[in-house]
Amino acid sequence: MIKAIIIDDEPLARDVVKAYLADYPQISLAAECQDGFEGLKAIQDHAPDLVFLDIQMPKITGFELLELLEAPPKVIFTTAFDQYAIQAFEARAVDYLLKPFSRDRFKKAMDRWLALSEQEKAAGLSSYSDLGPVPAPGANRIVVKMGGKIKIIPVQDIRYLEAADDYVKIHTGDGQFLKNRTMQYFEKNLDPGVFVRVHRSYMVNVGDVTRLDPYEKENHLAILKDGARVPVSKSGYARLKEVLGW
Amino acid sequence: MTVNLLRRPRTLVPVSILAGVYTIFQVLLLQYSGMALQKAIISGLIYGLLLVASCVLVKNVLKYYQPRKNEYGYALVLTVGFAMGWITVSNWALLQVYRSQPYISSLIHRTTLVTLLPGLLMIGWTWMISKIHYVSGEQENLKERQQASEKLTRDAELFKLRQQMNPHFLFNSLNSISALMLSRPDEARDMIYKLSDFLRGTLKKEEQLLVTLSEEMQYLQLYLDIEKVRFGHRLLTDIQVSPEASSMKMPSLLLQPLVENAIKFGLYDTSSEVVIRITARKENEELVIGVENPFDPETVRANQGTGFGLVAVRRRLYLLYARNDLLEATTRDHYFITRIKIPVTHDQSHNH
């Protein structure tokens, strides 16, 4: 049995998908969720083959939800916003349905999903997409998972970022959090006027830098408000000086 | 006198008065120089009338031609030229009248210089007054045009601000209708009527900007009914309007963006029930309206006070009342509170 999940905060919007889905008896509706938190749990519990996902929802957005998953399922976005289409396809969405959509349009999305599934089955691939979604540059918050809980970190609370193997350690006033993304990901998505890559393994929030001390030959140490010392390389020093206007 | 002249283009009256004074002066001058009184009066009148004619001519020349460059040279040439012309024509006219009396000719030539001087002054003065008048007229014109274009811009902006509707609200509402058609067609039809009435309200073109609060609340109710269909049981409202407030006047379509903002941020933060509280009362002769929504400090969104709806309302209030303090947004105990004050305008028709 093929399992599907609908995640949308408007009950009537879920009803439309449910009604259209009745044309596909081979698909069973495993869960209906009204926000991203419920959606995350349902995806982890049911491992669905297909998720209908709204973008603007309570608590966390559809994109943020996908980001928290190690292996995101196949997704068809359903939204009234057309400005997320590019982002959605970067997140390897199967399709992007603009509300309100017709039964015919829904069928096209389903055909696309079926074709993709067939292809992958033939090629022996897993049905998971392999690339995480990319949030809009200048995102104002970062969503991380801690055990079973979701933590939302406003970017202004981030003091510095530290590379740690396949993860990035996010240092905030509330403690440290791990996110399974690379430094490049943060460099691309955080405001470059606020967060500066000062070292191969470090990015700092320039608002937290109190002073720069010389360190060893050509390097420096950035001293942050909370006393943390962050290594600054020669090129990082130049970038930092440029942003700070020193 | 100058002020009056600036306001109204009446150079003819002061010119005539001055010409009258000049005529008397000229009569006395001619009589003193040995002319009989009757002849002196006739001669004086000829000089005076022709002087008035010259002044009117100067004024009209200025009306049609005002050089941008070398203005003072032009003024000098114009004044002297007209003065010379005037004295020549006047003298010639006098000689024609008294052709048979040769002593008149020598008398005229003796007095010419004394006659010329006040005439020169008067023509110069006329030039100056006309010049000032035309320049200030031009400036006033410019100011009027500027004001008219500013008003147009402001009206256009006000219209745009009033009309701006969140398109996603429309698309999501249509999606709800699409869902209702499947199971509850009567409710779908009802929703279509409400959505139509709501849209018609935003499209209103006539500039009847001020409505009573109770009219505004009726309009808001349409919006709330639609949103309640969309969000189901999650959206609750608590509306408290004092009786004296409901008849007070306010700019139309001001409340809905505030409530939309509250719903957006209130409902996007939680998936449980949310109560949006709307209050209105009279306070210090002003209509004070408050919109409150709860928010969850755990889920951080971009600052709610910078939402587009609030910015548009603030701008509208500024354009209408020239005050920046009429909208305030505060947070208190996990509540986001927007308050607007509507001053009572003395001119309730408010024909902006």
The answer to whether residue A197 sits within a structural domain is yes
> In this predicted structure, what is the pLDDT of residue A119?
85
A83 in contact with B, Cβ within 8 Å:
no
Q: What is the mean pLDDT of chain B?
A: 83
In terms of domains, do A82 and A27 share one?
yes
Q: Which of A10, A34, A59 sits opposite B172 (nearest CB)?
A: A10
A144, A151 contact by CB (below 8 A): yes
pLDDT confidence of B3, banded at 50, 70, 90?
very low
Q: Which helix (H) or strand (E) holds A197?
A: strand A195-199
How many structural domains is chain A composed of? 2
Bridge partners of B283? B286
Spans of chain A, pLDDT less than 70: 124-139
Residues 6+ apart with CB under 8 A from B334: B294, B295, B296, B297
DSSP A128: S
CA dihedral of residues A176, A177, A182, A187 (deg, nearest 10)? -70
What gap in Å lies between CA B297 and CA B288, rounded to an integer? 27
pLDDT at residue A110 in the model: 96
Give the per-residue pLDDT at B188: 95
The answer, for A15 touching chain B at a CB cutoff of 8 Å, is yes
Q: Where are the domains of chain B?
A: 2-146, 164-342
Report DSSP state, residue A135: P
The per-residue pLDDT for B304 is 54
What pLDDT was estimated at residue A129?
46
Statement: residue B229 has pLDDT above 70: yes
SS3 A131: coil
Q: Is A11 within 8 Å of B232 when comparing Cβ atoms?
A: yes
- The two tokens of residue B154 are 């402001």
Dihedral sign computed on CA atoms, order A202, A203, A209, A215: positive
Interface contact flag, B298 A152, Cβ < 8 Å: yes
User: Which CATH number belongs to the domain containing residue A163 in this structure?
Assistant: 2.40.50.1020
> A196 lies in a domain?
yes
Q: What is the pLDDT of residue B6?
A: 44
Verify that A112 and A176 share a domain, yes or no. Answer: no
The verdict on A103 and A198 lying in the same domain is no
- Asked if residue A71 is part of any domain, the answer here is yes
A57 touches chain B (CB under 8 A): yes
Taking the C-alpha atoms of residue A133 and residue A84, their distance in angstroms, rounded to an integer, is: 11
Same domain for A119 and A159: no
Return the CATH number at A105. 3.40.50.2300
The predicted pLDDT at position B208 comes to 58
Q: In the prediction, which pLDDT does A109 show?
A: 96
Task: Considering only residues B23 and B351, tell me which one the structure prediction assigns the higher pLDDT.
Answer: B23
Q: Which of A12, A34, A102 is the best mutation test for B, with the most CBs of B within 10 A?
A: A12
Asked whether the predicted pLDDT for residue B230 surpasses 60, the reply is yes
Structural domain of residue A211, as residue ranges? 153-244
Q: Which of A12, A57, A81 sits opposite B180 (nearest CB)?
A: A12
Q: Which residue of A has its CA nearest to B179?
A: A16
What is the average per-residue pLDDT within B144-151? 87
Q: Are A186 and A219 in contact (CB under 8 A)?
A: no
On average, the pLDDT of chain A sits at 87
Both A172 and A113 in one domain: the answer is no
Q: Is residue A180 part of a domain?
A: yes
Task: State mean pLDDT over B300-306.
Answer: 54
Indicate the residue of A16, A19, A152 with minimum beta-carbon distance to B175.
A16
Q: Is residue A128 part of a domain?
A: no
The DSSP call for residue A74 is -
Does A200 map to a domain? yes
3-state secondary structure chain B: CHHHHHHCCCCHHHHHHHHHHHHHHHHHHHHHCCCCHHHHHHHHHHHHHHHHHHHHHHHHHHHHCCCCCCHHHHHHHHHHHHHHHHHHHHHHHHHHHCCCCHHHHHHHHHHHHHHHHHHHHHHHHHHHHHHHHHHHHHHHHHHHHHHHHHHHHHHHHHHHHHHCCCHHHHHHHHHHHHHHHHHCHHHHHHHHHHHHHHHHHHHCCCCCCEEEHHHHHHHHHHHHHHHHHHHHHHEEEEEEECHHHHCCEEECCCHHHHHHHHHHHHHHCCCCCEEEEEEEEEECCEEEEEEEEECCCCCCCCCHHHCHHHHHHHHHHHHHHCCCCCEEEEEECCEEEEEEEECCCCCCCCCC
Contacts of B301 in chain A (CB under 8 A): 140
On whether both A101 and A178 belong to a single domain, the answer is no
pLDDT reported for residue B305 = 53
Is there a single domain that holds both residue A117 and residue A6?
A: yes
Express each pLDDT in B98-132 by its tens digit.
877 777 778 888 888 888 888 888 888 888 888 88
**Is residue A120 a contact partner of residue A65, using CB atoms and an 8 Å limit?**
no
d(Cα A11, Cα A13) in Å, to the nearest integer? 5
Q: Which CATH architecture has domain B164-342?
A: 2-Layer Sandwich (3.30)
Distance of CA A76 to the CA centre of its chain: 16
Q: Where are the beta strands (DSSP E) in A8-157?
A: 27-33, 50-53, 75-79, 95-98, 141-146, 149-154
Give the nearest partner residue to B179 out of A9, A15, A38, using CB atoms.
Answer: A15
A9–B267: do the CB atoms touch at under 8 Å?
yes
Verify that A113 and A188 share a domain, yes or no: no
Closest CA to A144 of A55, A53, A40, A7: A40
Q: Are residues A8 and A114 in the same domain?
A: yes
A111 shares its domain with A195: no
Full-model pTM: 0.67
Residues A100 and A157 in one domain: no
DSSP-assigned beta bridge partners for residue B330: B337
One domain, residues A105 and A13: yes
d(C-alpha B116, C-alpha A208), whole Å: 86
Helix, strand, coil proportions of chain A in percent (round to 5)?
Answer: 30, 35, 35
Q: CA of B175: which chain A residue's CA is closest?
A: A100
The pLDDT score that the predictor gives to residue B246 is: 93
pLDDT of the residue at B350: 45
pLDDT tens-place string over residues B56-92:
888 888 877 777 777 788 888 888 888 889 888 988 8
Q: A180-191, pLDDT tens digit by residue?
A: 888 888 888 888
